[in-house]
Amino acid sequence: MFNFFVLFGFAGFMIYKFVNLFDNLRSTLLTQNPEFTMKLCVLASGSSGNCTFISTGTTRILIDAGLSAKKTTERLAEIGERVEELDAICVTHEHGDHIAGLRVLQKKHGIAVYANAGTLDGIRSAKQGGAVECRQFTTGSKFEIGNLALEPFSIPHDAYEPVGFVLRSGTHAVGLATDVGIVTNLLREKLRECHVVVIEANHDEELLHAAARPWSLKQRILSNQGHLSNRASAGLIAEVAGEGLKHLFLAHLSADCNSPTHARRTFETVLAKAGHDHVRVYLTRASGVSEVLELE
């Protein structure tokens, strides 16, 4: 009887090791196949709507759906993509400027929606969310959509369970964090390994203090659950950038507390001082699509 339990336990252990080995091998093949390419375009970024398109050629997803379904369809068409070919929408958090088109896009086109438990609760209670069917992921645990691997990680923001993402395909890694109150060690760790980063550059501190906004709103923006300034965000990128980081998209620029000129100047100055002249800076906007980036 003792030998039976020993053999049974050994067999269980070997099955566990085999499954773990297979999972690691599959993940390696998924993320290191050099034939995979990536395409990225920020369709909109700002307080009026946030939506980023990422594809690998065979897998097409949106990060957030903060535009109306009509505008999302139009902006996808501008970059040669069709809404009917989307495989999924992955939601960072439940604020209206990230989910405004979610319900209609799913209802009209049957697109799968992915969110964590906290965000799902927020979507169901939000006016723009309502009856959306979600596939639940766990913050901190990798999951896959087609040949795209996603790593959701926690970020500080005033939402139920906000996340950023690292997305991998082939040898490429893209980091995205667009609503962040403060820089954390986890954020540094995740972005350090990326070749492309989409990062919040919400406000210029002087413009924010001078803006005709209620003090309570300014306090919220400046809080640990608010939004990153140009200076804080640029400092983060200067700290984590290595030779691998080539492309940087500045996201969620405030319309009245920032400007493309302020944001670009701050980042290019800080990056140059840190010796990162090789990083190309792209601007995003609420009113139109960004430059399209294609990685081979």
Q: Give the contacts of 2 (CB within 8 A, at least 6 positions apart).
A: none
- What Rg value do the Cα atoms of the chain yield, rounded? 20
Q: Give the contacts of 291 (CB within 8 A, at least 6 positions apart).
A: 41, 282
The domain ranges of the chain are 36-295
Question: pTM here?
Answer: 0.86
Confirm if 64 and 99 have CB atoms less than 8 A apart: yes
| pLDDT for the residue 29 | 47
Closest Cα to residue 231, out of 258, 249, 256, 213?
258
| pLDDT for the residue 216 | 87
Distance in angstroms (rounded) separating the CA atoms of residues 188 and 65: 26
The architecture (CATH level 2) of 36-295 comes to: 4-Layer Sandwich (3.60)
Token readout for 2 is 């003792």
Task: Provide the 8-state DSSP code for 279.
Answer: P
CB-based burial, 172-209: b 16+ in 10 Å, e otherwise? bbbbbbbbbbbbbeebeebbeebbbbbbbbbbbbebbe
Q: Give the contacts of 77 (CB within 8 A, at least 6 positions apart).
A: none
262: helix, strand or coil = helix
| pLDDT for the residue 22 | 45
Residue 175's DSSP bridge partners are 166, 197
| pLDDT for the residue 34 | 42
| pLDDT for the residue 241 | 95
Helices (H) and strands (E) in the chain — how many of each? Answer: 10, 14
Distance in angstroms (rounded) separating the CA atoms of residues 264 and 285: 13
Distance in angstroms (rounded) separating the CA atoms of residues 117 and 109: 23
Each of the 296 residues of the chain gets a pLDDT tens digit; together they read 545 444 555 555 555 455 454 454 444 444 445 445 899 999 999 999 999 999 998 999 999 999 999 999 999 999 999 999 999 999 999 999 999 999 999 999 999 999 999 999 999 887 665 678 999 999 999 999 999 999 999 999 989 999 999 999 999 999 999 999 899 999 999 999 999 999 999 988 888 888 888 888 888 887 877 789 999 999 999 999 988 999 999 999 998 999 999 999 999 999 999 999 999 999 999 999 999 999 98
Which amino acid type is present at position 295? Answer: L
